[in-house]
Structure 1
Amino acid sequence: MNDANQVLLALDNQSNIQLSGDAKKLTEGYVVKGSKDSESLQQLGRAMIRSKHDMAMLEMRYNNSAQAGQSDSMKLIEAKFYAAQAQNTGVLKQLIRQNPNSVVSAFAVGNLLNPEEQFAFIDSIATQLKKTLPDSRYTKALAVKLDPLRATAVGSAAPEISLPSPDGKPVALSSLRGKYVLIDFWASWCGPCRKENPNVVRAYNKFKGKGFEIYSVSFDQDREKWLKAIQTDGLVWTHVSDLRGWESAAGQTYGVKAIPQSVLLDPQGRIVAKNLRGDALEAKLASVLK
């Protein structure tokens, strides 16, 4: 047994679990009987293996296209990546729905789904688990993870932000009320952020005259690098930063743990979507800005 040759089991101190398979290749086609939770874990494991393989293949194709300078192919592969990601999330959610009162579901929703993107679903499962498995450490950990996200869940009123702009004057998020506003958390040193910026620029140019604005919050600490990135990437919208990096007041308010991250607000300041990127951002804006 080692890291590459192992299986996960769920032990409840009651079931008589029978595990069979090739000891040298245990992960390949093992059979588990006597524990519904362990059978669920097996299904979960198989889904994760397929997902990891699919994503790795798409990432390899994307990198090859990037090296060859094939921008059209990169866009197609990126779209397939997001589609595969959505499909894999759907598979996980279906497995969880089939076993809403299982410790496996508590483990899965807490560790395998993105709480930012799947808050409503995860919250519904967490509510059920509080009734059926209140003492489970997974249920308790899930509550700790979800509580800070409630303030920025889809449908909630967006917390206020007021930080200095490049000229030093504070600009409040609420000053843009009346338009759809994308709060864009980024930094000049963040590679994925800089790669996403052309998509954000394209969306801004397409919808800026139709009631759409962007409020970019930088996690920079170096003012000059921040301003240079704004100019280099052509980001001609509202920018703010307290230049405190990961200690950004806005980042802490919104629970930002990784960037790029974005939050879309409606004209009344309510959160309507989170982490829309590339074509998904344009599609959402096209649907709300008819």
Structure 2
Amino acid sequence: MLNRASFFLIALLIGCQAKDEPISSIHLPLTIVKGYGPFIPAFSLLTKEHSSTDPAGAGWVKTYLPITGTPAKWRNVSRSMIVLNIRQLVYQNYVSGNISLEMYSYLQKSWQWQPDELKLSKKPIKCYVYVIWGINSEGNWMAMVDTNNNLDFSDEKAFYPEILEHNNKNVSSTLNEQIVKYQVYQNNQIIDAEIPIVIKQFDGNQFGYNFPQYAKVELIQKGQKHELAVVTSGLTSAHFENASIVEMDGSVQNKVIEDNELIEIEQYITLGGLLGTKYKNKGVDLFNNTVKLEGIPSDVVVYSTQVGYLFQPFSAKEFSTKKTISLESLKGKYVLIDFWGTWCRGCVEEIPNLVTIYKGLDKSRFEFIGIVGEDTSEKLRKFIDKNGVTWPQILSDNSNKLIEIYKITRFPQTVLLDPSGKVIAKDLRGKELEIKLNEIALKKI
């Protein structure tokens, strides 16, 4: 099976490489590691399938498949298709006529996705797994996973999902782990594969799932072996397309690796100490089952949203005043860059806290800049007027493309810069942000 295969390590070099010079680009095969390892799992919510009368999800209804074998004595039964590769699912259903051209085009634009049809299977593959849950005759919640992916639950075993404790003490438990058979499309072949899945119950009748596995690769750099882990945030994705990487050296053995230690796509990792070789994480090629690392010459100035790197300078029009605002003009100040949107629940919930903190800041030393993504002028204007947002805002649009430039794929996201423009902290919110700014304010100028 694919997930149990151990791949021989080979680096495919792109371009010429002189002796002792950094590799320009390498592709490293993935080897699957079962379990959560040193990573903190999260959970994706099990959601019921949409109905044809649901305007938000009616377009997906034709992609659903009929199932059989639901226990007759269960009540309040729900079903869900857990998608293991969403792009493959969309493509094969578009080819089959189950997804309209309009919806297919919309998803491409929304996901900033240009399908490489040579790396996708026109023939439908099992890139999903069905799950059902309901209340049994004794009044207890139970669940079943279609582990053999035959759409028939009569040959599956029901189980009581472990209840996630309030202190998350059992978050890494793999009780009732199920091994699912599914398919992937690699190197022009449909390949049978297996993946573990864990389902837990939250408060009430809510259920979540994740996949207790990650991948590893090995790289020989200047005679030294480096082992990297390839992992999705929270282990909530079945594949590694948007995976992060982290070096598994002696310093991380027997410790928990936090999300903020992971190197995301388009971010940088240095192997071999401070003077080692710097690589950019270019993501995983699902078709070839490899992770791509791009070597960065030592004399190149690197900008990143990572802690310790210079933040790429910008110059754009402030939303309300229409005056040009630039990062260069803010040199000498601590600057909080807040990537947000009026549509983002987490972003909106944080605004009152930001309003309070901003009022108490010494503006000669601190500034906030909001960069608003995937939004409209009308919604932004109404929101800032209603909520008392007084710090500068920049609407990311087709002109400045700031969200694209900074590779922002999740909201909210904050970056705190020091007076030189270097990132000193990320994703500070609430009390953490207040404490950090107070610490800085107490420092002597």
Q: State the TM-score, normalized to the length of structure 1.
A: 0.57
**Equivalence map 1:74-223=2 (5 Å):** 105-107=229-231, 117-118=260-261, 123-124=269-270, 140-141=290-291, 143=293, 151-152=303-304, 153-165=306-318, 166-209=320-363, 211-219=365-373, 221-223=375-377
Q: 8 Å contact 1:215–1:240 — kept in the other structure?
A: yes
Tell me how far 1:180 sits from its aligned partner: 0.4
Q: Distance in 1 between matches of 2:376 and 2:36?
A: 48
Q: Where is the strand percentage greater, Structure 1 or Structure 2?
A: 2
Matches of 2:387 and 2:356, distance apart in 1: 11
The alignment partner of 2:35 has SS state of helix
AA of the residue aligned to 2:352:
P
CA distance in 2, matches of 1:252, 1:56: 37
Separation in 2, partners of 1:278, 1:176: 24
Which sections of structure 1, spanning at least 5 residues, go unmatched?
A: 1-6, 15-36, 61-91, 131-135
Structure 2: which amino acid aligns with 1:286? N
**Hey, what's the Cα distance between the residues in 1 that align with 2:4 and 2:426?**
34
Ranges in structure 2 where 5+ consecutive residues have no aligned partner? 9-30, 45-161, 169-212, 217-224, 234-239, 247-258, 279-283
Which one of 5, 18, 25 corresponds to residue 11 of structure 1?
Answer: 5
CA distance in 1, matches of 2:369, 2:342: 15
**Paired residue total:** 216
- CA displacement at 1:289 relative to structure 2: 2.2
Q: 1 CA distance for matches of 2:420 and 2:227?
A: 39
Aligned to 1:224: 378
- Pairwise CA distance, 1:250: 1.4
| Separation (CA, whole Å) in 1 of partners of 2:245 and 2:353 | 22
Kindly provide the amino acid, as one letter, of the partner of residue 254 in structure 1.
Answer: Y
Larger radius of gyration: 2
Scaled by the length of structure 2, the TM-score of the pair is 0.39
Find the aligned partners of 1:47 and 1:219 in 2 and give their Cα distance. 30
Pairwise CA distance, 1:226: 0.9
Q: Distance in 1 between matches of 2:303 and 2:351?
A: 27
User: Partner residue of 2:426?
Assistant: 274
Asked whether the equivalents of residues 106 and 142 of structure 1 are also in contact (C-alpha less than 8 Å), the reply is: no
Q: 1:142 to 1:273 in 2, by over 3 A?
A: farther
Cα separation, 2, equivalents of 1:204 and 1:157: 24
Change (3 A) 1:10 1:205: farther
Q: CA–CA distance in 1 between the matches of 2:340 and 2:419? A: 23
Question: Tell me, what secondary structure is at the counterpart of 2:361?
Answer: helix
Q: 1:169 to 1:55 in 2, by over 3 A?
A: farther
- Alpha-carbon RMSD across the aligned residues, in angstroms, is 4.8
User: Normalized per residue, which structure has more helix?
Assistant: 1
Q: Which amino acid aligns with 2:6?
A: D
